[in-house]
Amino acid sequence: MSVIDIAAPHEYDHSHADVTSGWLRAGVFGAMDGLVSNLGLIAGIAAAGAAPGIVAITGISGLIAGAISMALGEFTSVRTANEQLDAEVRIEREAHLRNPEGEQAELRRLFEGLGVDAETAGAVARQVHANGEVAVRMHLLSELGVSPEEKPSPWVAAIASLCAFGIGALIPILPFLLGFGVLGWGLAFGGVGLLLAGGIAARFTRRSWLAGAARQLLFGGIAVAATYTIGTLLGVSAA
């Protein structure tokens, strides 16, 4: 039996998608939010009796405001998470400088907890602590489950969210922009968008596209039903 030369983790057998860039979560969240929020928005005001032109203007306003808000929120949240990670890295480095023996003992106990015998665990811990940066990374991975090198970009998350929200929010108002502004068409366009978005997201996560599409359509339908009911109850006064 030949020995497999492993050039990179799992390269001989399987591969993994990049889960650290941050664009997928922001893009999926943005697209779903744009679809559901704008679909519910136009359903509510159309049910209240607003004219097609008003529905279109409201939908465009919701698209612009929502896309900017999503982008700012993603940028701030990702940057804050990265700054928190940087703070934890500083804390860990200070601990290694202040008490290297204690940190090494902590790593040894971790290896022992994983089933490594005491002698081997101590030897590995000493080798890891021979390089301060490697030791810091190992402690962060074991204690927090994070790596200092794997920080998502706040700009990537913000741009992905902005674009995805804009596309998602545009779909349900397309009929009104194209001149056949009937709520039924808006709901149909939005429903197709929800199915596509849910299916595509499911494929990225290697789940059933049918289940993902149906789940998103269900969630979107609940939101539309709620806003439609409220719009019908409120109505528009003929001032």
> Crossing angle, helix 209-234 and helix 183-204, to 10 degrees?
150
CA distance 76 to 86: 15
H or E stretch at 60: helix 52-98
Tell me the CA distances in angstroms from 221 to 119, 126, 194, one per residue in order.
60, 58, 9
CA atoms within 13 A on the CB side of 62: 26
Question: For residue 16, what are its two tokens?
Answer: 């993994």
Q: pLDDT-derived band of residue 11, with 50, 70 and 90 as boundaries? A: low
pLDDT beyond 80 at 1: no
Q: With contact defined as beta carbons under 8 Å apart, do 20 and 150 qualify?
A: yes
pTM of this prediction exceeds 0.95: no
Q: pLDDT-derived band of residue 95, with 50, 70 and 90 as boundaries? A: confident
pLDDT digits (tens, 9 = 90+) for 156-182: 889 989 999 999 999 999 998 888 878
